[in-house]
Amino acid sequence: MRYASPAIERAIERLSRLPGVGRKTAQRLVFHLLRSPQDETEALVQALLELKRKVRYCSVCFNLSEEDPCQICADPQRDRSTICVVEQANDVVAVERTGQYRGLYHVLGGALSPLDGIGPEQLRVAELVRRLEGGTVREVIVATNPNAEGEATAVYLARLLKPLGVRLTRIARGIPVGSDLEYADEATLARALEGRTDL
């Protein structure tokens, strides 16, 4: 069914492009918005616009940030000799939540997955190698997800980075196999970081 108002149609069409949102959900959202006060909707629009305007990738670690370099990279208190490599910006949040880690990060932007056309060039691997060339970094902790893709990525990085003379470690498999870092609870993730082993 189509609505008489093109504005409604347009809003539904736009919203249903979002991941996990079908036409039904989009309709529900649109009618919710129509019923809400004007300033609610304006605040939402404002938030979305700011998202695009302000958030960018940190040019050092590729974490999402409003500053460049990001707060973590700019923090003089952080230990510059350790880099924790993760797949996504969400994983940085997860590791930070443990409160156990004081080093820097590197966000790969995913994991190797030939089925999705993802090879090393689709990830921020070259950028990681460049960060190690300075000689400040002594340990790289590979904290990719404990699933097929994350493990293969860890092995790939180990093979690539070993010759550079840094210590390479992998977080322990305390996290349930096949799950995502993002969903591990703090205590488990802290233990996994603690019990990391050499790659």
Partner 1 sequence: MRVVTLHLTNYRSWKECGLAFHPQLSIVIGENGSGKTNILDALYLASYGRTLRGRDEDAIRWGERESSVRAIFRSEGGAERAVQVTLGPEGKSMFLGGRRLEGRTELVGLFPLVLSSSDDLDIVRGDPERRRNFLDAVASLLYRGYLDTLREYKRTLRQRNRILLEMALGRGGSMVSALAAWTERLVVLGEALLRKRLRSLEELGPQLSEYYRELVGGGRCAVRYLSRVDVDVDDLRAALEKALAVSAVEERERGMTLVGPHRDDLALEVDGTDLRKFGSRGQARAAALALRLAEAKLVASRGEPPILAVDDAFSDLDDRRAERLLAQTTGFQTILTSAEEARTRELLAARAAHGRVFRIRENQVMEEVLA
Residues 32, 34, 40, CA angle at the centre, nearest 5°? 80
CA torsion angle 134 137 138 139 (round to 10): -140
Q: How far is CA 174 from CA 153, 160, 169, 170, 187, in A?
A: 18, 25, 14, 11, 10
Contact 170, 199 (CB under 8 A): yes
CB 161 to partner 1: min, Å? 12
60 binds Zn ion (CB under 5 A): yes
Q: Which of 11, 73, 111, 157 binds Zn ion (CB under 5 A)?
A: 73
CB 119 to partner 1: min, Å? 4
Query: What is the CB neighbour count within 10 angstroms for residue 9?
Result: 13
> Residue 153's binding partner, choosing from partner 1, Zn ion, none, with beta-carbon cut-off 5 to 8 A by kind?
partner 1
83 binds Zn ion (CB under 5 A): no
**Size of residue set near partner 1 by CB under 8 A:** 21
Contact 81, 66 (CB under 8 A): no
CB 71 to partner 1: min, Å? 32
Tokens standing for residue 125: 């691997």
- In the complex with Zn ion, the residue whose CB is nearer, 26 or 107, is 107
198 binds partner 1 (CB under 8 A): no
Tokens standing for residue 126: 């070259």
> Residue 73's binding partner, choosing from Zn ion, partner 1, none, with beta-carbon cut-off 5 to 8 A by kind?
Zn ion
User: Residue 54: what residue type?
Assistant: K
115 binds partner 1 (CB under 8 A): yes
> Residue 119's binding partner, choosing from partner 1, Zn ion, none, with beta-carbon cut-off 5 to 8 A by kind?
partner 1
Tokens standing for residue 6: 């093109």
Contact footprint for Zn ion (CB under 5 A):
58, 60-61, 63, 69-70, 73
Contact footprint for partner 1 (CB under 8 A):
112-115, 117-122, 147-149, 151-153, 155-156, 159, 177-178
